[in-house]
Structure 1
Amino acid sequence: MLEKTRPKVLFFDVNETLLDLAQMKATVSKALNGKEDLLPLWFSTMLQYALVTTATGKYEHFEHIGAAALQMVAANNGISISEKDARHTITKSFRSLPAHPDVKPALALLKDAGYTLVSFTNSSNEGVKEQLKNAGLTSYFDEILSIEAVGKFKPFPETYTWAASQMNVKPEACMLIAAHGWDVAGAIRAGWRASFVSRPGQQEFPLAPKTEIIAPSLKKTADLLLTYK
């Protein structure tokens, strides 16, 4: 069997891949009068309108889109939430998320093995820096990148091209590690390698190209990457 070569740079999605959204979902559920069944709809609405924002040539902070999605879902279920309250709820929740238990051990292994680690997120520059600081993850990363600089959300191809250029590497030297099928699909179609972390409730997109690594945890992903030469 051929030995697999190391990617030059490992790019990590942040929300859900590194950070546990359970605490945030509890807060959003409270804002929706305890209707937990609306949480998947809120999250998918947020992602949908992030794509709509980019597709129509605009940019808004991801947290603001999340707040707008919360207002929309609430309104459709007879719940009134002001823009101010929605933004406070989403911003505070996003920025205080804890890391999944497997994250720090995995990042430490990869960093010790000499990999270049970069966080790469749809969150704003200010938002992701606060997220990583509050989760105790800042020191693991060589660079912290937000799509805010390019003004388009993942999975638009321009975001991956921009991130590779920021690290001065070719697309084929990049590997995205993410728990979202849409993000993995976007990276592969932009010429990157990819690893899918199958967090609970997450699935690969069946119509996307084959993913190089599929693992149930970030720790298992790191173990596999340590075998690369």
Structure 2
Amino acid sequence: MSDFQRFPKRRHFLSLALGGMAAFSAVRRAVASPLRGAPNGEARPIRALAFDGFTIFDPRAVSAAVVSAVPDRGAALAAAWTNKLFALSWLETAAGRYSGFGRLADAALDFSAQAMGIPLTPAIRRDLVAVFGQLPAWPDAAAALERWRSAGIRLAFLSNLEAEVLIANTRRNGLGGLFETPLSTDRVRAFKPSPCAYAMGPAHFGLTAQEIGFVAFGGWDALGASWFGYRTAWINRLSVPEETLSPHPDSAGPDLEAVDRLVR
């Protein structure tokens, strides 16, 4: 019996590694040169936009709901919850695991409340997590989306949120007819900034990454999308500092006018 047959863990590890290499190769094929097929060496025009959900829907409603549920310490709990949710999503992605946004949001809220000594019943946690599907649209969203659709640009969400949450938010804000099928990370079971998540855009639109503008809410998401190969617009709604790693987003600003500058 060979060493390879004798040690199933090694065999399992090698199969995972080979599978990962195949996935990486597929992702690399989705990122084509921006100059390929373009006249005079110019980049192709942007033909589609992929949006993080929070560029269109205002997530501050979630923090407001936490403050309403826990008036004295709600702001601190909301901040701790957000930080833990990001930490868990990145941890799962790094470890090759996936729980889905809703389950992870509940786990992060449960942990944060316990760490702060704040009693939250499962029913309260469930109601707070549900607010992610009850978000208002940012004031500039509807007009901007109509403008891009009228210009022939295809639109879709590429988000860590579940598809049903994205659909619920588009319907409640009267935006349902503007977007194509939502690209939830549930499809690939890997949260952003995994390249597997970003690869959904080229696969869905049938375009190269450089023909798609990625519209990010978080600076980290803009950075991850840029690393993948997208041309990026960072919508810095909350006026937070820019990430210090390179590259910088192609366009940035406090509202969706940053996308207009990207698609010109």
Q: TM-score, normalised by structure 2?
A: 0.78
- Corresponding residue for residue 260 of structure 2: 223
Larger radius of gyration: 2
The aligned amino acid for 2:57 is L
Q: Distance between the aligned counterparts of 2:125 and 2:156, measured in 1?
A: 30
The aligned amino acid for 1:223 is D
- Corresponding residue for residue 242 of structure 2: 204
Identical pairs, percent: 28
- Show CA shifts across 1:84-136 (max 9, x none): 43133212x11110001011111111111111111111011222211221222
Instruction: Tell me, yes or no, if the aligned pair for 2:233 and 2:250 is still in contact at 8 Å.
Output: yes
Does 147-156 or 73-82 show the bigger shift? 73-82
How far is the alpha carbon of 1:202 from its aligned partner? 3.2
Does 19-28 or 95-104 show the bigger shift? 19-28
The aligned amino acid for 1:22 is R
How far is the alpha carbon of 1:204 from its aligned partner? 2.5
- Corresponding residue for residue 115 of structure 2: 76
In structure 2, the CA distance between the partners of 1:31 and 1:71, relative to structure 1 (3 Å rule), is farther
Deviating beyond 4 angstroms after TM superposition, the runs of 4 or more aligned structure 1 residues are 2-5
Does 59-68 or 198-207 show the bigger shift? 198-207
Give runs of aligned pairs for residues 145-184 of structure 1, distance below 5 A.
145-184=183-222
Q: Distance between the aligned counterparts of 2:205 and 2:84, measured in 1?
A: 32
User: What RMSD, in angstroms, separates the aligned Cα atoms of the two structures?
Assistant: 2.0
More helix by share: 2
Which runs of no fewer than 5 residues in structure 1 stay unpaired? none
* SS of residue paired to 1:52: helix
Aligned length: 223
Q: Distance between the aligned counterparts of 2:95 and 2:262, measured in 1?
A: 38
- Show CA shifts across 1:30-89 (max 9, x none): 344432133222112111101112222221121221121111111111112244431332
- Corresponding residue for residue 130 of structure 1: 168
- Show CA shifts across 1:137-181 (max 9, x none): 211113321110000001111111132112211122221111211
* SS of residue paired to 2:210: helix
- Corresponding residue for residue 36 of structure 2: none
* SS of residue paired to 1:53: helix
- Corresponding residue for residue 52 of structure 2: 13
- Corresponding residue for residue 66 of structure 1: 105
Give runs of aligned pairs for residues 75-154 of structure 1, distance below 5 A.
75-91=114-130, 93-154=131-192
Q: TM-score, normalised by structure 1?
A: 0.89
